[in-house]
Amino acid sequence: MTYAIQAEGLVRRFGATTALAGVDLAVPTGTVFGLLGPNGAGKTTAVRVLATLLAADEGHATVGGYDVRRDAHRVRQLIGLTGQYASVDETLTGTENLLLIGRLLGMRRADARVRARQLLADFQLSDAADRAAKTYSGGMRRRLDLAASLVGRPQVLFLDEPTTGLDPRSRNELWDIVRGLVADGVTVLLTTQYLEEADLLASEIAVVDHGQVIAQGTPEELKAKTGGQILTVRPADAGDLPTVVSIAAEVAGATPEVAQTTVTVPVNDPGVLPAVVRRLDQAEITVAELALRGSSLDEVFLSLTGHRAEQDGRSDVELEWMPA
């Protein structure tokens, strides 16, 4: 297997803060690799180091086989960067923004124009091509950002929180674009604080917290790590909650969580289900919902970090254990 991105022991401090505390990464060529973590976990710092924008204090990294420090110029020929910190010029039109990048990459004027037109068409921005980017909606802005990072046909694409603040439709459109790029052979490093996004797009995920990779694997491997399954019980009568909690705790041998009237607890043994049913029956509790399912990435995150991943700006995302 070849790796498009490799990093070993990346450390980066900002004054007293340690943004990266020894990060190792290996991203196989032609895959989507997800860097998952809450705000301030060090995701953006990692991307900035790998995209040659920031020097690491310790450790080293290669992109496309080139050292990001020594061969920064070669690395820049291979990469595209989109995200919070790499933006288009709002005062220019969509066409002008893409022309600017094309010309800077050494394309002839006519070629740059053809490339701009093609990308704008691919990203459904043809109608807005001659409007200033500041008039674009959030989703259009993000598509133009992405188009700008694709002008030079990068082999490695860094997407730093590409869907933060986007509505569900724009988010889905962007995900489709990313899938298309990977189908064309591009390697994508995606940072996100949304578990759903990492789960849907990435073939491998590194969970980052406080500047360190605290877990790594496929989404399925990570989910299996927490013990595999989640027991959910919702009593019909909220007054039965304390009894349900104690039954769940006893059967699963772990401390359950309560969200509104739903009790969840991680379990390792599928045999717990009949036991729970028996105990609930004995206690004469009527249940509105009783289920055993694979754990979501959010539970993985909770068990790894001790805190839930951020959910701000994403009220539309329903988490699996929440009552309908």
Taking the least distance from each CB to other proteins, the nearer of 100 and 317 is: 100
Q: Work out whether 173 is an interface residue with other proteins (CB under 8 A).
A: no
| Interface with other proteins, residue 247, by CB under 8 A | no
Among 87, 126, 172, 216, contact with other proteins (rule: CB under 8 A): 87
Contact between 127 and other proteins per CB under 8 A: no
Binding mask 65-84 for other proteins (x = CB under 8 A): --------xx-xxxx-x--x
3-class DSSP string for the chain: CCEEEEEEEEEEEECCEEEEEEEEEEEECCCEEEEECCCCCCHHHHHHHHCCCCCCCEEEEEECCEECCCCHHHHHHHEEEEECCECCCCCCEHHHHHHHHHHHCCCCHHHHHHHHHHHHHHCCCHHHCCCEHHHCCHHHHHHHHHHHHHCCCCCEEEEECCCCCCCHHHHHHHHHHHHHHHHCCCEEEEEECCHHHHHHHCCEEEEEECCEEEEEECHHHHHHHCCCEEEEEEECCHHHHHHHHHHHHHHHCCCCEEECCEEEEEECCCCHHHHHHHHHHHCCCCEEEEEEEECCHHHHHHHHHCCCCCCCCCCCCCCCCCCC
Q: Minimum CB separation from other proteins for residue 186, in Å?
A: 6
Min separation Cβ 82 and other proteins, Å: 9
237 makes contact with other proteins (CB under 8 A): no
Q: Any contact of residue 274 with other proteins (CB under 8 A)?
A: no
Is 88 a binder of other proteins (CB under 8 A)? yes
Q: Let me know if 220 is exposed, middle or buried by CB neighbors in 10 A (0-12, 13-18, 19+).
A: exposed
Residue 103 touching other proteins (CB under 8 A)? yes
90 lies in the binding site for other proteins (CB under 8 A): yes
- Stretch in the footprint of other proteins (CB under 8 A) among 85-93, 255-263, 290-298, 314-322: 85-93
Nearer to other proteins, 93 or 164 (CB): 93
* Binding test (CB under 8 A) with other proteins, winner from 4, 27, 177, 222: 177
Does residue number 86 form part of the binding site for other proteins (CB under 8 A)?
yes
User: Is 184 an interacting residue with respect to other proteins (CB under 8 A)?
Assistant: yes
Q: Which of 119, 174, 265, 267 binds other proteins (CB under 8 A)?
A: 119
| Binding region for other proteins (CB under 8 A) | 48, 51-54, 73-74, 76-79, 81, 84-93, 96, 100-101, 103-107, 118-119, 122, 132, 148-150, 152-153, 155, 177, 180-181, 183-186
